Amino acid sequence: MAIENLDDTSFLEKLGEAEMAVVDFYAGWCGPCMLFKPKFSRLSDEYPHVRFFVCDGERAPEARKSVEIPSLPYFGIYRAGKLVDGFSTAKEEGFRERLEAHFGKAT
């Protein structure tokens, strides 16, 4: 499934349109963030019932302020535009566990 970019102007609108969503908050200088990008892309195909978004926190400061990011990469889990969970991980297994806890198994 296609991954959509979010910025400060589209953040609330696009998340509000998504029943189930995950946002990858990243920074271009973050090595683990860049290493996770191909995994995030591949995983988006395995969970077609979930919308996948990316948000460059440095280019979207208002969106970044909507979450508390202790470390990168950071992922926000949303239901109907509302943040229901947030976590940091660079491990695919940890990402899958959190995603499936909220949205069910991959297809």
- Catalytic positions, please? 30, 33
Instruction: Give the amino acid at 41.
Output: S
**∠ Cα 104 43 106 (to 5°):** 25
Q: Which residues contact 73 (CB under 8 A, 6 or more apart)?
A: 24, 25, 26, 30, 32, 33, 36, 88, 89, 90
Query: Hey, what are 64's tokens?
Result: 């970044």
